[in-house]
Structure 1
Amino acid sequence: MKVLIVGREYPPFSVGGIATHTYYMVKHLRKLGVEVTVVAFGDPRASTDSEVFLSPASSLMETGATNLYKDLLLTWDIARLTSFTKKLLHEKHFDIVHVQEPYVGGLVTYDDRKVTTIHTTGIGDVKSILKTAGSPNPQVFKKTVFYVSLGYFMEYASIFTSKIIIAPSYICKQELVNMYKVHPSRIVVIHNGVEVPLNIPSKEEARKILGLPKDKVIVLTVGRHIPQKRVDLLIEAIYRIDKSVRDNVLIIIIGRGSETSFLIHLTEKYKLSDIIKFPGSVPHEEVWLYYSASDIFTLTSDKESAPMVLLEAASMGNAIVASRTGDYALMMRNGIDGLVFEPGDINTLTMFLEKLIVDADLRHKLSKNAKLFASRFTADKMARKTLKVYEKLITSK
C-alpha cells in the first residue's frame, strides 16, 4: 500500500504536537509495510525520496510574532502545496492521500481515497480563545481572524473532499458533529499514541546533562504559549504556594508563542525568576531529557483534544496534574492516574501542586500509575487503527 501524507509540519521542522503525531504514525505505518511519502513545509535541502519539504514563503511555520506581509503569503503557500501535491498524485500511484492539517491541505482532492485528520477544530479554538481572559494580543487577533475566515473554509473543504475524517478524541468528534454538521458515521476516533525512545538517561543523569539541581522537585510543562494553554495559571499557582514549599521547587516552562512575553513579565512581577525557567523551544529529542529529569508534569489548558505531551510525560513516570479537558484527562481516575482539576480552577491547582511537592509517596504512586495509563496509548496501536481506515477505504470502492 502506498500512502501520501500531506501536512504543514514534520520533523525536524516542527511547530507543535501534530509534527510529533505524524512522525510516530509514519514510523509505525512503515513498520507495518506501508510505503509512506510525506509532503510538508521545511528546508528543501532536507528532502529525501520519501519526505519532501517545501520552503515556506509565509509565516505558517513561525511560532512567535509575525509580520503582516508574511501572513498574507499564507494563501500562496497553500496554493503551492496544493499544486505540488496534485502533481505528485498525478505522477505516482498512491492508494490513499491523508491530509494531516486541513488548513494547508484542504484543497487537495483524490476521488474517494482521501482521509483527513482534524486534530482540533478552529471554531472550538475560537470559543476557547474568547473565553480566556487577558489583554488583547495582535497575534491572537490574527489567529482568530484566520480561524473564522480562511481556516474555516479550508476545514470545510477538507471535510467535504474526504471520505473519512479521523479525530484524535471524542471531544473533537463531538465538535465536528455539533459545529460542522459532519455525520457521525464519517468520523473515526483514533487516539494519539507515543513511543518512548530507547536509552533515555535516568533522572539523575538527565539532570546532570541539563545542568538542573539534583535536590529540587521539578515541575514541567511543555506546549505552545497561546491563550488557551493557560500557562499563566501555573505561574499564579506557584506564587500562591507557601514560600517554604516554593523554596524546594524548580518550574520549567518549555515552548514559545504569542504569550511568551506576557508569561515572562508575570514571572518577573511575582519575583519568581529564580525558580521559573523558560528554555524556549526545545528539540523533541531533548524534551525527553526534561521528562526524565522532572517529577511533576502540569497541563493547565482551557481546551485540549488529545495532548501528546501528557502521554509522553506520563510514559516517563511524571506525576500528572491536568485540567479536565481532552480525552486523556477525562479518562484519568482522579487521585489514582493523576490529579485532575476543572479548567481555570486556580485554587485546586495550587492545592494539588503543593500536596505533590511535599508528598514524595504520593508522587511515587501517581508516577507508577501514570506509566500504566500511558501504556494504553502506543504509536503501534495508533498506526494499526489508521491502517484499518485505509484498508476500509480501499475495499469499499
Structure 2
Amino acid sequence: MKIAFLLSRIEQTGVTTHTLDLAQGLVEEGHKVCLITGGKIENATSRVDDFYNEFKALGVDIKEFKTPSGNIIKRAIQSITSVFAIMREVKKCNPNVIHCQSPYMTFIPWLMGKKFTTTLHILYLKRNFKFKKPNHLIAISNESYEFSKKMFRMEDKNLSLIHHGVSDRFSRPISLKQKLDLKKRFNISENKLIIGFAGSISLRKGSDILVEALKDLTTSTKEKIHFIFLGGVKGSEDYIWLKDMVKNAGIQNFMTLVPFEDPKPFYDIFDIFVLPSRMESFPLVTLEAMMSECCPVRSNTEGAYEQIEDGVNGLLFETENTQQFTGILEKLVSDTSLRRLLAKNARTKAMNEFTIPVMTKKTLEVYSKIQMN
C-alpha cells in the first residue's frame, strides 16, 4: 500500500513525532510512505533537523511545498500556488490512502474528490472552510473522540480511537557510564533523586504550575532531589520567562534548565517524570517516560486516565492544583518502594498498549475501511 501524509510543517511537536513513528511502523510493515509538507519550521532546532533526517533514513519520499509568507496579498497568492503544488504531488504519489496529519489540510483531498482520513491531535480546533469531514476520523483519546462527535458531527461508524504509540528505543536503557556522564555534565550528585520534565515552556504545559509546586516542597525534600527541565530554546522569551520564575521562586539551586534535545537519555536518569499541563491531547512524552520506566505524575487533563491508572502505574493530580501536586512529589520522594512499583507498572503498560506496532496495526485497519467504502 502507498500512503500519502499531508503535514503542514515538520516541527518539534507531538504531531510531527506521531507522523514519524507511524511512518516507521508502516515502512516496517512493507508499505510506502510519501510525506507532503511545508518543510522544516523556520529557526528550527537541531531536533527538527533530526526528525527530517529520520524521515529520510526510513526511505520516506519527502515532497515540500512553499509555505505562505509576507504581506496579505503575497500570502494569498502563495497559498493558492501551494494548494495546486500539493495537489500535483498527491497525483504523482498516486496513494491508496491520503492521511491528513494536519486536519486543516483536509480540504485538499476533498477538492480532489479523494478518500482520506485525518487524526485529531488537539481539542481546540474549530470548524472552518479548511476542515472537511473525512471518510474516517482517527481520535487519539476518549476526549478527542467525543469532541469529534460534538464539534464535527462525526458518527461512531466513521470514528476510530487509536492511541499514539512510541518507539521501543525508549525501552532500551543507556549504559551506567552514560548515565553517570550525563549527571556529571550537569553537576548532579549521584545520590540525588532526579525529577524531570520534557516539553515546551508555556502556560499550556503548566510551566508556572511546576515552579509553584517545586517551591512549596519541604526543605528536607528539596535537599534530596534535583530537577531537570528539558525544553525550550536558550535565550528565547519563554526561556527567559521560565528562568526568571525559577529565580524568583528560589529553586535555582536544585533545578537545571536544559534547552531541548533528544529526551531519551534524560528519561533514563529520571526517577520521576512530571507533566503539569493545563491542556493536552495524548502527550507522547508521558508514554516515552513510562516505557523508560520512570514513575509518571501528570495532571488529569485530556488523555490522563487512558495513560495512567491512578495509584497503579502512576499518580494523577487535579489540573492546576499545585498543593496536591506538591503532596504527590513529597510522597514519591519519601516512598522508594511505591515509586519503583509505579515505574515498573508504567513500563509494562506502555510496552503492552502504546507501541508503534499496535498503533500501526489499528491504523491499517482504518485504511482498509476507507478503501472498501
TM-score, normalising length from structure 2? 0.85
Instruction: Choose from 286, 289, 297 the match for 2:273.
Output: 297
Match of 1:269 in 2: 248
What are the superposed Cα offsets for residues 182-225 of structure 1, whole Å, 9 maximum, x if unpaired?
Answer: 33332211100112217541466224135242221111111222
Q: 1:88 to 1:203 in 2, by over 3 A?
A: same
Q: Report deviation, 1:56.
A: 5.8
Q: 1:33 to 1:332 in 2, by over 3 A?
A: same
Match of 1:51 in 2: 61
**Once superposed, what is the RMSD of the aligned Cα atoms?**
2.8
Match of 2:357 in 1: 380
For the residue of structure 2 that corresponds to 1:30, the secondary structure is helix
Question: Is contact 2:36–2:65 with CA below 8 Å preserved after alignment?
Answer: no
Instruction: Choose from 127, 142, 146 the match for 1:174.
Output: 146
What are the superposed Cα offsets for residues 351-370 of structure 1, whole Å, 9 maximum, x if unpaired?
Answer: 00111122222211111111
Q: Report deviation, 1:250.
A: 1.4
Match of 2:88 in 1: 87
Match of 2:164 in 1: 192
Question: Is contact 2:167–2:355 with CA below 8 Å preserved after alignment?
Answer: yes
Aligned partner of 2:320: which letter?
G
TM-score, normalising length from structure 1? 0.80
For the residue of structure 2 that corresponds to 1:157, the secondary structure is coil
Q: 1:204 to 1:256 in 2, by over 3 A?
A: same
Question: Is contact 2:65–2:82 with CA below 8 Å preserved after alignment?
Answer: no
Are 1:117 and 2:119 counterparts?
A: yes
Alignment size in residue pairs: 351
Structure 2: 5+ residue runs without aligned partners?
41-48
Are 1:309 and 2:311 counterparts?
A: no
Q: 1:366 to 1:93 in 2, by over 3 A?
A: same
Are 1:21 and 2:18 counterparts?
A: yes
Instruction: Choose from 20, 36, 39 the match for 1:39.
Output: 36
User: For residues 289 and 72 of structure 2, what CA distance do their matches in structure 1 show?
Assistant: 34
Q: Report deviation, 1:18.
A: 1.2
Q: Report deviation, 1:84.
A: 2.4
Instruction: Choose from 319, 323, 327 the match for 2:303.
Output: 327
Q: 1:276 to 1:312 in 2, by over 3 A?
A: same
Q: 1:100 to 1:81 in 2, by over 3 A?
A: farther
Aligned partner of 1:237: which letter?
A
For the residue of structure 2 that corresponds to 1:293, the secondary structure is coil
What are the superposed Cα offsets for residues 263-315 of structure 1, whole Å, 9 maximum, x if unpaired?
Answer: 22110101222222221221xxx210011111100011122221111000000
User: For residues 348 and 365 of structure 1, what CA distance do their matches in structure 2 show?
Assistant: 21
Q: 1:244 to 1:225 in 2, by over 3 A?
A: same
Question: Is contact 1:95–1:394 with CA below 8 Å preserved after alignment?
Answer: yes
User: For residues 315 and 280 of structure 1, what CA distance do their matches in structure 2 show?
Assistant: 23
Match of 1:209 in 2: 182
Q: Report deviation, 1:158.
A: 3.1
Instruction: Choose from 287, 300, 304 the match for 2:263.
Output: 287
Aligned partner of 2:113: which letter?
D
Question: Is contact 2:2–2:31 with CA below 8 Å preserved after alignment?
Answer: yes
For the residue of structure 1 that corresponds to 2:108, the secondary structure is coil
User: For residues 83 and 381 of structure 1, what CA distance do their matches in structure 2 show?
Assistant: 35
For the residue of structure 1 that corresponds to 2:130, the secondary structure is helix
Match of 1:349 in 2: 325
Aligned partner of 1:307: which letter?
P
Aligned partner of 2:279: which letter?
K
Aligned partner of 1:174: which letter?
E
For the residue of structure 1 that corresponds to 2:132, the secondary structure is helix
Question: Is contact 1:166–1:189 with CA below 8 Å preserved after alignment?
Answer: yes
User: For residues 96 and 326 of structure 1, what CA distance do their matches in structure 2 show?
Assistant: 29
Percent identical pairs in the alignment equals: 23
User: For residues 73 and 363 of structure 1, what CA distance do their matches in structure 2 show?
Assistant: 56
For the residue of structure 2 that corresponds to 1:107, the secondary structure is helix
User: For residues 176 and 208 of structure 2, what CA distance do their matches in structure 1 show?
Assistant: 27
Aligned partner of 1:7: which letter?
L
User: For residues 316 and 100 of structure 2, what CA distance do their matches in structure 1 show?
Assistant: 33
For the residue of structure 1 that corresponds to 2:253, the secondary structure is coil
Instruction: Choose from 354, 366, 370 the match for 1:389.
Output: 366
Match of 1:4 in 2: 4
Question: Is contact 1:58–1:71 with CA below 8 Å preserved after alignment?
Answer: no
For the residue of structure 1 that corresponds to 2:201, the secondary structure is coil
Question: Is contact 1:96–1:114 with CA below 8 Å preserved after alignment?
Answer: yes
Structure 1: 5+ residue runs without aligned partners?
60-68, 124-147
Question: Is contact 2:109–2:115 with CA below 8 Å preserved after alignment?
Answer: no
User: For residues 115 and 352 of structure 1, what CA distance do their matches in structure 2 show?
Assistant: 40
Question: Is contact 1:112–1:163 with CA below 8 Å preserved after alignment?
Answer: no
